[in-house]
Structure formats: C-alpha cells, structure tokens
A = this chain, B = another copy of it.
Amino acid sequence: MRRSKLFMPTIKETPADAQIPSHRLMLRAGLVRQTAAGIYSWLPMGYRVLRKIEQIVREEMDSTGAQEILMPTIQPSELWQESGRYDDYGKEMLRVTDRHDRGLLYGPTHEEVVTDIFRNSVKSYRDLPQNLYQIHWKFRDEVRPRFGVMRGREFFMKDNYSFDIDAASARISYNKMFVSYLRTFARMGLTPIPMQADSGAIGGDMSHEFIILADTGESTVYCDSAWLDSDPLSLDIDFDTDLQPIVDRWTKLYAATDDKYDPESCPVNEERLYTGRGIEVGHIFYFGTKYSNAMGATVSNDQGQEVPVEMGSYGIGVSRLVGAIIEASHDDDGIVWPESVAPFQVGLINLRAGDAACNEICEKLYSSLSVANVDTLYDERDERAGVKFAEMDLIGLPWQIAVGPRGVKAGTVEIRRRGGKREEISAEAAFSRLT
C-alpha cells in the first residue's frame, strides 16, 4: 500500500491519559481511536494486526478439531436466569431492555448461549465430544476502563466450549486446549507460561491462566528459568494422540504470580529462579456439569441413561493481545512487531520522492514485492527522510528498505531489520532477502 493513501493518523504528542507503552504507541501510531471510555475504533493499521492475531488463533483452534460458530452479542436474560448467574454477575454486565420490555444483555461470556444450543441439538454420547468456538466481541462494563485495549469495555475474544460424556474425556479436551494455547501464543512471538489457577468449587488441577512475559506487565512472575528457553513450536503435535505427557512436561516446571509465590516453599533455587513481569492473555477452565445441570443439557450415555454433559470453557483475549504484544515488544522508538502479526512486512522508504532514479527503483521493488505477496508499505510522500524513518520505527514493521540518490548511484539500497543495523546491498539482494 502507498503511504499517501493509507489512513493512518499518527500523533506526535504522547496522549496524556495513556499510562502504559502499548496504549501510548497504539494512539500515536494511529492503530486505534477512542470512541468512548474503554470503547475503541480500530483504524486500518490496528485492524490489520487484530485480524492477523485472529487468524493465528483460528488456525490453531481448527487444528485441534474445534469448529467455528458465531453467537450473538445480545442475549436474552432468561438464559442467565436459568443458569443462576443473572443476579450474580453484577454491574459489569450491560443490561438492556428492548422495545417490548424484554430483558436482554450484551454478552460478557457465552456459557449460557452455547449450552442452550447444545441442549437443543445433541442428544447422544455418539455425537460427543464437541468443541465449539467463536471469535467475537464482548462487553464488560468495567468500573474504570484503562490501559487502552488491554482493559477495554468492548473487547474481542476467542471463547470456546467443550462437551464431553465424562470427566476422563473432558480432560482430553482440556489437554488439547492447553497444548494449542502454547502453540498459539508462541506463533505470535510470545513466551507463554501456563499457571495453575483457581478452579472454583469443582477443585482439581484443570484451570490454567496463560501469562506472557513482558517487562511492563501487570503482575510479577516467578518461574523456573527453563521457561525462557521453552519453545512450544518445536513440538510436533498430533491432537488425536494422548497429550498428557506434554501437559505434564510443561506443568512440572515451577511458575507462579506474586499472589501465589512464597519464597519459603518455592521449589526452585535462587540461581534458577527467574523473576519478571507478565500479562494474562488466556484462561482455560474445566467446570464439569455446572451449566449442564442448571440448564438441563443432558445426553444419553452408552447405557441409555440421561447424564449431564461435562463442559469446559477456554478464552483468549484477542484485542488484548494487540496491546500485550506491544508491551512485550517495543523500544524507545516505537513498536517492534513480530513478523507473524505485523500490519506490513516491509516499509519501503523513498528518500527522494520525485527523483526519477529513486522513483524507478522504488516502484520496481514495490511491485515485485507485491507480486511476491510480501505486504509492503511504500512511503512515496514528499517528506523529509527523518520524518519517514521515525514513522517507520514508530509503526514497527519488521523490515525497512530505504532508497536514496547516493545509494542508487552506487547500485545499492539500505536494508534494516526494525531496531537493527543498516546494510547496503543491491535492490535484487534486498528482494531476495524478503521473499
């Protein structure tokens, strides 16, 4: 895309109300604009990133065999009265009354709706297991929305729900999500650490929060330094096999947030203990028959008996991840996007727009990169070089190519990884490196 055409309203000043780097950088780089407190509009650059993250989440969900659906944002209150959560949920739930005075609400989560779909559709153990996911907008009326998209009111989330005939099968479903989450976050250039979390009334070990490491994260993380070398993408996963050994291998390494960490009982010695900061980006949770009992979601088992279905729910904060990735990957000059989620792969800078030779090299590179499906932002504006470099650093594309009169004479262009050293090579060599 040509920079002159791109709707990317950058801001020079640091917005006063933005307290954390991702919020500041998302506003400055024109990724989002606030429409109301905790409610954002996603502009082209931000939306491109959001969709890349969404697509990684989708591919990883699909590879586990989960199926994509889409439930409505607006739900009937009756379903929540059935589950018993309507009164419990409190003021975070945005309640609405329609023109016929029927109670509705903007879904903060979808256990009730999906349980309703299930109970009307699935009758037999033969149709289990099922795992249904959606990637959709939710609303929680936070009392004090802040940190930009990290704690907004309207937010984009992947949530899914597993349905199994018994607890043993439910563990299989849970393990698939556990392993899939490791892969999902790793594909975004993040280091995910699953931490055992409160599993509520049901007890047991089937509740994990996924924290990613980021120096500016909200909570302190204590973990075995082996986590830092962990590489979930090196695992060759077959989701049809028993994943328990993989889950065991990852859960045996120590990790805790500050509310659980106790130096007295920490099993990791000081040398191996890594202390850092982290951000929660996902949560997986097995809750048994909580909703199926309350809402009558039963199936007949192989004995012909009606039994409530065993359920789990699993969430990933997709819009939150845009902020979280920036928290994990930025410097003083701006964002440093991991390749997999970058809005463009390459920023091509024409240092002397209007100069025939520079224009020619740039247009040729731009068109050949486009043909090779390398997403390129071509800054062809008549602006100072310093302005263009600063903006490219701010928006954090993985690669920069700069074409100027001096280089053109010498038959070279400058290529640089975001934050790395400039290198002078031929335009052809630059093209090869990027394709």
Residues on A lying within 8 angstroms of B by beta carbon are 5-7, 9, 30, 33, 35-37, 39-44, 47, 50, 65, 67-76, 91-92, 94-96, 98-99, 102, 104, 106, 113, 116-117, 120-122, 130, 132, 137, 139, 141, 143, 153-154
Contact (A67, B44) CB under 8 Å given A35-B113, A36-B104, A73-B137: yes
Contact (A68, B91) CB under 8 Å given A7-B130, A113-B41, A143-B99: no
Q: A153 to chain B: which residues have CB within 8 Å? A: 74
Q: A71 to chain B: which residues have CB within 8 Å? A: 35, 41-42
CA distance A117 to B44 in the complex (A): 12
Q: Are B67 and A141 in contact (CB under 8 A)?
A: no
Q: Are B41 and A5 in contact (CB under 8 A)?
A: no
CA distance A199 to B381 in the complex (A): 38
Q: Are A47 and B75 in contact (CB under 8 A)?
A: no
CB distance from A220 to the nearest CB of B (A): 30
Q: A33 to chain B: which residues have CB within 8 Å? A: 117, 120-121
Q: Are B96 and A96 in contact (CB under 8 A)?
A: yes
Q: Are B67 and A6 in contact (CB under 8 A)?
A: yes
Q: Are B117 and A41 in contact (CB under 8 A)?
A: yes
Contact (A67, B7) CB under 8 Å given A74-B154, A153-B74, A154-B73: yes
Q: Are A65 and B7 in contact (CB under 8 A)?
A: no
Copies of this chain, count: 2
Q: Are B122 and A35 in contact (CB under 8 A)?
A: no
28 A-B residue pairings within 8 Å (CB atoms): A5-B65, A7-B67, A30-B121, A33-B120, A33-B121, A35-B71, A35-B76, A36-B72, A36-B75, A36-B76, A36-B104, A40-B72, A41-B72, A41-B117, A42-B69, A42-B71, A43-B69, A44-B67, A47-B68, A47-B70, A73-B73, A73-B137, A74-B153, A74-B154, A92-B99, A94-B96, A94-B98, A99-B141
Q: A141 to chain B: which residues have CB within 8 Å? A: 98-99
Residue with the highest number of chain B CB atoms closer than 10 Å, among A9, A35, A116: A35
Q: Are A50 and B75 in contact (CB under 8 A)?
A: no
Cβ-closest chain B residue relative to A71: B41
CA distance A18 to B57 in the complex (A): 36
Q: Are A35 and B116 in contact (CB under 8 A)?
A: yes
Q: Are B154 and A9 in contact (CB under 8 A)?
A: no
Contact (A42, B67) CB under 8 Å given A9-B122, A121-B7, A130-B7: no
CA distance A102 to B106 in the complex (A): 16
CB distance from A252 to the nearest CB of B (A): 32
CB distance from A154 to the nearest CB of B (A): 5
